[in-house]
C-alpha cells in the first residue's frame, strides 16, 4: 500500500495553479510541485492543514488516499 496525495486533482477541481495555491497557503511553490507530482516522500502535516483550510476541505480523503501498490 502507498499514500497518494490528491493535490493535482484539487488544483483541477478548484481551477487553480500551483502558484495560486502557494499564495493562498503560504507554502512555497517549490514545495507544492513535488506534492502535485506525488514524488514527495514526507509531507508536513501543517501543509496538509493549510491546503485543507484554503480549499475549505473537511474530509481528508479529498487530499490523501491509500491505494494498493499496483494502482
pTM, full prediction: 0.88
**What pLDDT is attached to residue 40?**
84
Comparing C-alpha atoms, which of 25, 47, 38 is closest to residue 65? 38
Bridge partners, 66 (sequence order): 3
Check residue 41 and give its pLDDT: 84
What pLDDT sits at residue 71?
A: 59
Q: Cell 481551477 maps to which residue?
A: 15
What's the chain's length in residues? Answer: 71
Number of domains in the chain: 1
Please report, for the domain that includes residue 34, its CATH number: 1.10.260.40
Q: If you ran DSSP here, which 8-state letter would residue 43 be given?
A: -
Residues of the domain holding 9: 2-67
Mean pLDDT of successive 10-residue stretches along the chain, which has 71 residues:
94 98 98 94 94 96 89 59
Amino acid at each position: 500500500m502507498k499514500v497518494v496525495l490528491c493535490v493535482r486533482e484539487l488544483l483541477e477541481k478548484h481551477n487553480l495553479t500551483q502558484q495560486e495555491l502557494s499564495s493562498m497557503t503560504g507554502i512555497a511553490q517549490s514545495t507544492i510541485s513535488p506534492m502535485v507530482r506525488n514524488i514527495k516522500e514526507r509531507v508536513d502535516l501543517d501543509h496538509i492543514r493549510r491546503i485543507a483550510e484554503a480549499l475549505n476541505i473537511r474530509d481528508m480523503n479529498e487530499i490523501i488516499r491509500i491505494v494498493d501498490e499496483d494502482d
